[in-house]
Structure formats: structure tokens, C-alpha cells
Amino acid sequence: MTRQQSQQLAIWVITAVSAIVVIPILIVILYMLYNGISTISWEFISQPPRNGMTEGGIFPALLGTIFLTLGTAVAAIPLGVGAAIYLAEYAGDNRLTRAIRLAIVNLAGIPSIVYGLFGLGMFVLFLNYGTSILAGSLTLGLMTLPVIISTAEEAILSVPQEFRIVSLSLGATRWQTIRNQVLPHALPGIITGVILGLGRAAGETAPILFTVAAFYLPNLPKSIFDQSMALPYHLYVIATQVPGMPLGIQYGTALILLFIVLSLTLVATLIRSTMRRRREW
Amino acid sequence: MAAQTNLNSMPPQDEATTPTNWRELVIENLIRLAGISAVLIITMIFLFLLREGFPAFVEVPLSDLFSSRWYPIEDKFGLLPLLAGSLIVTVGAVVIAVPLGLTTAIYLGEIAPPWQREILKPFIEVLAGIPSIVLGFFGWVALAPLIQSMGAPSGLTAFTGSLILAYMALPTIISITEDALYAVPKEYRDGALAIGATQWQTIWRVVLPAARSGIVIAVMLGIGRAIGETMAVMLVTGNAANIPDLGFGALFQPVRTMTATIAAEMGEVAQGSLHYSVLFGIGIVLFIITFAINSLATYFVGGGKRRRGGQI
């Protein structure tokens, strides 16, 4: 085999293998779409499950996931953005900074089920929040932190140093500089990170298994101290725990969950690419 | 990135004259606290796992933990079947995901024209975004029947889990490998091409060796991702807590992983019971394994070379 032939062959193989990675993703999405689309209706989205969950809709689970995602945002955004500001603007090259970075890498690597155990041990039992939206949101919030921190830090670092120097030289304090110059310019990047993180949190099942999720609730939650149904857990329940569950409802639920999570991911990606195009520096 | 110089390197300002001084002080300390919180949180996670799981290591004799029977109703807490389950599924996933991931990263980084990259990279991000329960559901309703129809006694096997897990680990492997390829200086490629190497020879003999430490990290983090996955493997691996016969056939038997065991059994145990502690004990084991993998990967990145925080 000549060099040219091996070159040809290699490129061909690499392209084919990349297709093996990409095509199944398409298949999964199209499969859910194809099988689930006929179930989707306004009634499916706006009605509670009926008749042992074999009829009706997914409204309580959908609402629970919206509550949980909002709760996650409240828990994770201040802490995550604060930590990102610290790392990008304040942290020196010292032991503490290295410890923080190591901690963030490891927070990102801890299995989601271990977050679930921690949430159970700390929020549900130790702080006595019980199985509740509060405990679930805090657990998901901690899990989302590393995504928010790393994207927000990158966004802050990408603001040109000149902006800071000019602001400081005009007499602004360091915090004024961060607040009025750095953060506004980093905002689109920070928002991207937040949405990506929230999208991931919305689709997680393992962290909410023992901290918030209810198999079936006749009433909607009234406060953050109540249990709630949630879409990912609902899918797990109807796929494996309910005998005689019509497949259509399962596909429909999976499709709605996929739609929510993917549209969040898509919005985040769009914000990022628009921002890159518009950037003035 | 031009903004890497730290403001700490600048001379301190005379802050005593600013009227907002105290407010500034409060805010800066809050920010510092937020920074340090990452360390506090991971410490707390470990302490709470210990608090709930420690009794398991005291009350269950070590010889029992390392036995091959997981049968909590009779207080048999042998962890070996679960360790074996996690190991088989993870190894299978890595064997599938590493060649696919590296090749795709090479395609994205070295071969694909820019317009394809613009489409493919968000696409890989979409894969990272698909919830594990949805992939698990897909494995359960579509993949498992397919595998069964190919002649396996059941579609719910370690292999089904490996296949799903491989795709869940792919985004991590691809993006980190791509970063590593990107970090290889352009001069290396130019030099190789200038002395007459083909593009493939350049990739194989120059670019990949130069990027190998990054590739090792990609593989390690892919392993970390796979070993901690819960919902997808819970749905598709059949959940049989037996030590499978070793050898190639092990892949086509039902297994049960550590993560799935916690998820499946925690809902049914009494809080404070031995079974409850043992499940937290498994959490400790998972924590230590992933902590070791991620810390080691960070150590490899090492030096003054800064990389993206949470994702390395």
C-alpha cells in the first residue's frame, strides 16, 4: 500500500467511524419523535395522570420539573458565579486556588447517585427538610455548580484585560470594575453556562430519587417543603414500575423530557455562537 | 485568552478613601467565600457519606464485604458481584467509546472542513445533553429487544449497558481529546507536511504522540463518567447481583452495578439499618474511585498549564 493509498484509507475510516458516533444520536432523537409525537396533545401536557397512571397526562411531573429547575437556579447561580468571579479576578497562584480547582474538578466527577446520597444525608435527614422540593433543588444545585463555575470563569477571563486597566485607572475600585465592566461583557457567556447546567439538572434522575421525587401525588405541591413528582423520575416509574403501562404515554413522556432538555441546550449554544459573532474585541 | 494576568499582580489601591469601602469589603469576602465553598462542599459530601456509611465498615466483617453474595434480606453484603458488575460494564463501555471518541476527535480537529465542525460540535453537545433516563429508556424499549433478537438469552445484559454508557462517555472523551489536539502547535504539522508526510502520517506519527497526555486524561475522565452512571445502566443491565462467569461471555450476562444497587434499594430500606449503611458505604467506594480518577487526571494536566475548571 502506497502512502497515498493509506492516506485515502485512513481518511475514509475516520469519516466512517465519526458517522458511527453521530448517527445513533439522530436515531435516538428521531425514534422518540416518531413514537411519541402522536401522544403529545394539550391534554397530555395539562392533565394529571389518571386510572393508575395508565391514562391522562403528565402535568404534575412537568410542573415539578419546572419548580426543581427554578430551585436549582436559585441555589446554584449566586454561588457558581461568585466562585467564578473569585477564580478569575481574585485568586492568586497559591495552594488555596489549587485546592479549589481540584475540588471543582472532583465535584464535576462525583456520580449523580452519590449527590443523591449526600442530599438524603444532609438536606433530607440532617437539616430535616424532609423529602421536598427544597432538598431536591439544593442537591441539584450543588451538582450543577461545576458546570456554571467553569463556563462563567471562562467568560470572565475572555473579557480583555484592557477593560479592567482603563476602569481602574479612572479610579474605579476593583469591585466597581468587575460589576460595571467585566460582568456586563461576560454576561452572555455566564448565561450560556447557567442554561447548560440547568438543562442537565432538569434531566437528572439519580439525585432526586431520595430527595424529592414522589411516585404519584394526587395534589400539586403547595410549598417548597412538599414532595413533588418530576419528569425524569416519572419516566423511570412508568417505564419499569407500572405493569400494563401503555407504551404511547412512555414515549410521550420521554419526548417531552428530551424536548425540554435539548431546547435548553440549544438555546445555550445559540447564545454562545451569537455572542461570538457579535463580539467587538 | 489575553486576560490571564491576575489583578493581584497590580499594586494595591488606597481603598480607605472610597465611600463604598465597607460594602466593597463585604462583597469581596462573599466572593471569596463562594470560591472556597467548592472545597467546603466536597469535604461535606465526604463527611456526610462517612457519617451514614461508616457503620457498614465496622459492623460488617471485612470477609463478608469481600464475599460473593449480595443478599441484603439475609444480611449478606458481599460487594464483589457489584464491583464486578461495575467493572465489566465500564470496561465494555471504554473499549467501545475510546476508539470511537478518539477517531471522532481526530475527524473534528484535523479533517472536517469548518462548516462540518460548526454542525458537529453542537451535535456532540446535544448527545451530552440527552438525559441518562431517556437513553436508558431507549435501551430498554429498543436496544434490548434488538440484542435479544440477535440470539442472546436476554437483551438486558452488561453489553447493552456498555453500549449505552459508551455513548454517554463519548462527549467527554471527544471534547477533551479535541482540546488536546488543538493544543499541539501548528508548527509540528507544518514541519511534518513540509518534509513530505501525508496528512495521515502527520496525524499518526506527530500530532497524536504530541497530544498523548491529553488523550490519557480524556480516557480517564471517560472512565470516571461511565463508572458513576446510574439510571441508564439500571434500566438495561438486568440487575442480577451475581458474579458473572469471566471471559467474553460475561458481557452477555445480566449484571448489577454499584450505582444501580444504591438507586434500586435505597428507597426500600429503613433509615439507620445496616442495609442503609452499606448502601452509603457503596457511595463511599464510588466517591473514592471517582475522586482518585479525577485527581490523577488533574495531576497529569499539572504544571502551570491552566485548563477549564470543571471539565478539565
Q: What is the DSSP string of B84-133?
A: HHHHHHHHHHHHHHHHHHHHHHHIIIIIS-HHHHHHHHHHHHHHHHS-HH
Q: Decide if B312 touches A, using CB distance below 8 A.
A: yes
- Going from N- to C-terminal start, the domains of chain B cover 16-57, 80-309
Kindly state whether residue A28 falls inside one of the protein's structural domains: no
Which run of H or of E encompasses A236? helix A231-240
Kindly state whether residue A35 falls inside one of the protein's structural domains: no
* Chain mean pLDDT for chain A: 90
For residue B100, the chain A residues in CB contact (below 8 A) are 17, 20-21
Q: Which of A236-245, A252-261, B101-110 has the lowest mean pLDDT?
A: A236-245
Domain count for chain A: 1
Distance CA A112, CA A260 (A): 20
C-alpha cell at B191: 514541519
Residue A58 has φ and ψ, to the nearest 5°, of -130, 20
Q: Decide if B26 touches A, using CB distance below 8 A.
A: no
For residue B15, the chain A residues in CB contact (below 8 A) are 173
Q: Decide if B270 touches A, using CB distance below 8 A.
A: no
Q: Decide if B59 touches A, using CB distance below 8 A.
A: no
Of A99, A118, A233, the CB nearest to B49: A118
Distance CA A213, CA A155 (A): 34
pLDDT at residue B308, rounded to an integer: 39
Of B6, B230, B279, the CB nearest to A112: B230
For domain B80-309, give the CATH number: 1.10.3720.10
Distance CA B200, CA B219 (A): 22
CB contact under 8 A, A175 and B41: no
CB contact under 8 A, B34 and A11: no
**Residue at B56: amino acid letter:** A
Distance CA B133, CA A112 (A): 12
Q: How far is B91 from chain A (nearest CA, A)?
A: 17
B285, closest residue in chain A (CA to CA): A114
pLDDT tens per residue across span A177-186: 999 999 999 9
Helix axes A95-109, B274-301, angle to 10 degrees: 130
Kindly state whether residue A33 falls inside one of the protein's structural domains: no
CB contact under 8 A, B134 and A32: yes
CB contact under 8 A, A117 and B279: yes
pLDDT tens per residue across span A140-171: 999 999 999 999 999 999 999 999 999 999 98
Distance CA A85, CA A256 (A): 35
B291, closest residue in chain A (CA to CA): A106
Distance CA B229, CA B86 (A): 10
Q: Which of A19-33, A129-143, A234-248 has the lowest mean pLDDT?
A: A234-248
Of B33, B198, B227, the CB nearest to A3: B198
* Mean pLDDT in residue range A94-120: 94
pLDDT at residue B23, rounded to an integer: 84
For residue A17, the chain B residues in CB contact (below 8 A) are 99-100, 103-104, 107
pLDDT tens per residue across span A54-103: 788 899 999 999 999 999 999 999 999 999 999 999 988 889 999 999 99
For residue A245, the chain B residues in CB contact (below 8 A) are none
CB contact under 8 A, B204 and A10: yes
Our CA dihedral for B213, B219, B225, B228, rounded to 10 degrees, sits at: -110
Radius of gyration of chain B (CA): 24
C-alpha cell at B200: 495521515
User: A120 versus B6: which is more confidently predicted?
Assistant: A120
For residue A114, the chain B residues in CB contact (below 8 A) are 45, 49, 228, 283, 286-287, 290
Look up residue B267 and give its DSSP letter. Answer: G
pLDDT at residue B282, rounded to an integer: 94
CB contact under 8 A, A31 and B142: yes
Q: What is each CA distance from A84 to A146, A152, A183, in whole angstroms?
A: 10, 6, 11
pLDDT at residue B127, rounded to an integer: 84
Kindly state whether residue A105 falls inside one of the protein's structural domains: yes
CB contact under 8 A, A266 and B126: yes
Of A24, A102, A147, the CB nearest to B295: A102
Kindly state whether residue A52 falls inside one of the protein's structural domains: no
Of A17, A83, A142, the CB nearest to B103: A17
Taking only residues 153 to 212 of chain B, the set having a beta carbon closer than 8 angstroms to any beta carbon of chain A reads 167, 170, 174, 198-201, 203-204
The CATH number of the domain holding residue A213 is 1.10.3720.10
Taking only residues 91 to 150 of chain B, the set having a beta carbon closer than 8 angstroms to any beta carbon of chain A reads 99-101, 103-104, 106-108, 111-112, 120, 122-138, 140-142
CB contact under 8 A, A18 and B42: no
Query: Are B292 and B208 within 8 A, CB to CB?
Result: no
Q: How far is B68 from chain A (nearest CA, A)?
A: 23
pLDDT tens across the length of chain B (312 residues): 344 445 555 545 554 445 568 888 899 999 999 999 999 999 999 999 999 998 888 888 888 788 778 888 778 888 888 998 899 999 999 999 999 999 999 999 988 888 888 888 888 888 888 999 999 999 999 998 898 888 777 888 888 999 999 999 999 999 999 989 999 999 999 999 999 899 999 999 999 999 988 899 899 989 998 999 999 999 998 877 677 666 667 778 888 899 999 999 998 888 888 999 999 999 999 999 999 999 988 887 754 344 433 333
Q: Decide if B27 touches A, using CB distance below 8 A.
A: yes
Q: What is each CA distance from B39 to A96, A142, A278, in whole angstroms?
A: 9, 12, 36
Kindly state whether residue A120 falls inside one of the protein's structural domains: yes
For residue B133, the chain A residues in CB contact (below 8 A) are 203, 205, 232-233, 235-236, 257
